[in-house]
Chain A
Amino acid sequence: GFLVMATIIKETESIKEAVIHINTIDTNKFSRLLSRILQKLHLRVERSFSQEEEEKLQNALSMEKPVLSLVLETISFILEQAVYHNIKPASLKEQLENVKIDPEKAEAFCQAWTTSGPDVIEKIRQRIFAPKKLEHVGWQMSLELGQSSQAKLKAPHAVLQLGISGDDAEGQENVFVEFSHQELLDFYNKLETIQAQLDSLT
């Protein structure tokens, strides 16, 4: 059998125009550009480059702002498609040549993808869709010796600090939970049940 990869980059008008401009870029500069875009691909940001950086790029690549925007968007799109389909470097090269990207540039894409592709895919895979995520686990264990209603205790207590981050720049919210020995044991048993579930997935 011979697996044929579906076309992941369709030759739309927009792509055609972008390719023309991409092909004008000096290959070395292009490689550096690719690296940089790949680095930030997993972040959920609107634009990979700051205003300032874009202005510098306009100069470096001798491109007007709208052209630069198109080029950057197109490169990002190609890479996102590569991620989505978990494409092999050879297939990527083929797809690029199909939309008439210069062999040199296609090769640069291929190299960058071989080097950084798996890493980017892994980062994106780990990015969870949730408004809140557990980021930090801290704890303190102490021995309670007494309180107003009970004397001569020797009760170990633990406080768990759960640092939970919001999706927007809300910063971290800390949830403090106190446990007696028995309560912590009960909690641990629940965690073990979850672990058993995770184990059954592999």
Chain B
Amino acid sequence: MSSAHVKPLGGAAAGNVSFLAGRIPPAIEIMSKYMKDLDKELFRKILKVVVTAIEGTDCCDALGTIAESCDVPEEKLSSVVAGMHELLRVALRLPPSTLKQEGFREDLRELRISEEYISDFVSVVFGSRREALDIVASQQGPQLPHMDDFTWRVDVAISTSCLGRALQPSILTQIQLSDGTRSHFQVSVPKFQELRYNVALILKEMNDLEKRGVLKIQD
């Protein structure tokens, strides 16, 4: 590996943060070298596959197809794919408030990527698909199971073996969690009120937190 580059990147305008934080990862550097050898169509095919991979779909087959149909040596192809993946991963990690479009373009120019390829990268990071990519990213962190499905039924017990006239309502609940587990239980009316009250309380706390500009944490 060549001597550690501390190559200053970043837009000419002051205040633009270099999205690579001062050091170019080797994968990206190699990629930018090989990019010149790719024709536009191939580049776009690879970009499409890389974005699909970031979205979470398995892309082995798609990449295999590309490898077979073009005459770029496998090693070069792998480097380009790795570089593009790394570049997008790092860029997508930063919120649009931190990494602005112009700054990103400038950074890519510094990497000596040609203008038309820059536009393609920009459309991934700042385009319509960004929201969907963000959702996928948010689900990748460590987390507890989320609620996939919540079904319920309100029952009124008319009579039981102990009480001729009970007329007692209760709620039967089934929760399906994202980890596949299912919970089935009954909630008495007072407990239900407690649950509802607590959820409302948490929502209020969340609203307050979001309004208060969050403990002065700056972007």
Which residues does A use to contact B, with CB under 8 Å?
A: 80, 83-86, 121, 124-130, 132-135, 137, 139, 141, 143-145, 147-156, 158-160, 162, 164, 175-181, 183-185, 187-188, 190-192, 194-195, 197-198, 201
Known A184-B199, A184-B203, A194-B171: A152·B145 in contact at CB below 8 Å = no
Q: Mark B148-171, 1 if CB is under 8 A from A, else 0.
A: 001010101100101111101111
B residues apposed to A, CB below 8 Å:
89, 93-95, 97-98, 134, 137-138, 140-147, 150, 152, 154, 156-157, 160, 162-166, 168-173, 175, 177, 181, 183-189, 191-192, 194-196, 198-200, 202-203, 205-206, 209-210, 214, 217, 219
Chain A residue with Cβ nearest B215: A143
Q: How far is the CB of A118 from chain B (nearest CB, A)?
A: 13
A125: chain B residues at CB < 8 Å are 163, 166, 168
Indicate if the CB atoms of A139 and B202 lie closer than 8 Å.
yes
Q: Across the interface, which residues of A come within 8 angstroms of B97, CB to CB?
A: 152
With contact pairs A175-B175, A191-B195 given, residues A128 and B186 touching in the complex (Cβ less than 8 Å): yes
A194 touches B152 (CB 8 A): yes
Shortest Cβ distance from A143 into chain B, in angstroms? Answer: 7
User: How near does chain B come to A155, taking the closest CB pair, in angstroms?
Assistant: 7
Q: Which of A128, A134, A160, A194 contacts B154 (CB 8 A)?
A: A194
Closest residue to A138 on the B side, CB-wise? B198
CB neighbours of B184 from chain A (8 A): 132
Return chain A residues, CB-CB under 8 Å to B206. Answer: 141, 156, 158, 181, 184
Q: Is the CB of A152 within 8 A of B95?
A: yes
Nearest 9 CB-CB pairings of A with B: A147-B141, A130-B186, A132-B185, A178-B144, A149-B137, A156-B206, A149-B140, A134-B187, A191-B196
- Alpha-carbon gap, A121 to B147, bound state (A): 37
Offer 27 A-B interface pairs, CB within 8 angstroms, sorted by A. A83-B162, A86-B163, A125-B166, A126-B168, A132-B183, A132-B184, A132-B186, A133-B185, A134-B191, A137-B198, A141-B209, A148-B140, A148-B141, A149-B137, A149-B141, A150-B137, A151-B93, A151-B95, A151-B98, A154-B214, A155-B138, A156-B205, A156-B209, A175-B181, A178-B146, A191-B199, A197-B154
Residue of A nearest to B190 (CB): A126
Task: Supply 14 further A-B pairs (C-beta < 8 A) apart from A137-B191, A137-B195, A155-B138.
Answer: A124-B162, A125-B166, A130-B170, A132-B186, A137-B194, A137-B198, A139-B198, A148-B140, A160-B198, A178-B146, A187-B199, A188-B200, A198-B171, A201-B156
Q: Are B144 and A141 in contact, with the CB atoms below 8 A? A: no
Given known contacts A86-B164, A124-B162, is B210 in contact with A156 (CB within 8 Å)? yes
Output the nearest chain B residue to A156 by Cβ-Cβ distance: B206
| Complex Cα gap A197–B95 (Å) | 42
Most buried by A among B188, B199, B203: B199
A188/B199 in contact, CB under 8 A: yes
What's the Cα separation between A145 and B173 when bound, in Å?
33
Chain A residue at smallest Cβ distance from B167: A125
Q: How far is the CB of B9 from chain A (nearest CB, A)?
A: 17
Q: Of all chain A residues, which has the CB nearest B191?
A: A134
Q: What CA separation (Å) do A132 and B172 show in the bound complex?
A: 10
Task: Report Cα–Cα, A136/B51, bound state, in Å.
Answer: 44
CB distance from A113 to the nearest CB of B (A): 15
Which residues of the other chain, A, contact B171 by a CB distance below 8 angstroms?
Answer: 194, 198
* In contact, B198 and A198 (Cβ under 8 angstroms): no
**Contact status B94-A151, CB under 8 Å:** yes
Chain A nearest CB from B180 CB (Å) reads: 13
A177 and B188 CA atoms in complex are apart in Å by 20
The residue in chain A whose Cβ has the minimal distance to the Cβ of B98 is A152
